[in-house]
């Protein structure tokens, strides 16, 4: 099993619609680790890490998000896997690493 990581920025109507909580549930159901948080610019940022196929499924889900959201675009960057053990919602905005 090959572990990969992706840093994702989701743009559109993605704050105030439960996006982070749906992302948390979906990522955990896929067995992924990482985090999701709101950014001051109105986007949602996520770090998604795990099995390559499961990360791909998560990225597909993020392109649409939960029903109440309206995703306009997602930006995906390759990342080096980190020492993470769970998927969580982070508060505030901090640098990715």
Q: How many Cα atoms sit within 13 Å of 83 on the Cβ side?
A: 0
6 is catalytic: no
Starting from the edge strand earliest in sequence, which strands make up the sheet with 3-13, in order?
70-79, 3-13, 44-51, 33-38, 87-89
CA-CA-CA-CA torsion sign (52, 43, 87, 79): positive
Q: Confirm whether 28 is a catalytic residue.
A: no
Closest to 20 measured CA to CA, from 74, 93, 91, 84: 91
* Active-site residue, selected from the candidate residues 6, 26, 37, 38: 38
From 20, 26, 37, 54, the catalytic residue: 20
Active site residues: 20, 38
């Amino acid at each position: 099993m090959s572990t990969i990581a992706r840093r994702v920025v989701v743009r559109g109507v993605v704050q105030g619609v439960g996006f982070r909580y749906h992302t948390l549930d979906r990522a955990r159901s896929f067995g992924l680790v990482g985090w999701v948080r709101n950014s001051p610019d109105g986007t949602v940022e996520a770090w998604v890490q795990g099995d390559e196929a499961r990360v791909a499924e998560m990225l597909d889900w993020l392109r649409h998000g939960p029903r109440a959201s309206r995703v306009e675009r997602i930006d995906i960057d390759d990342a080096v896997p980190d020492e993470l053990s769970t998927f969580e919602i982070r508060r505030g905005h901090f640098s990715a690493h």
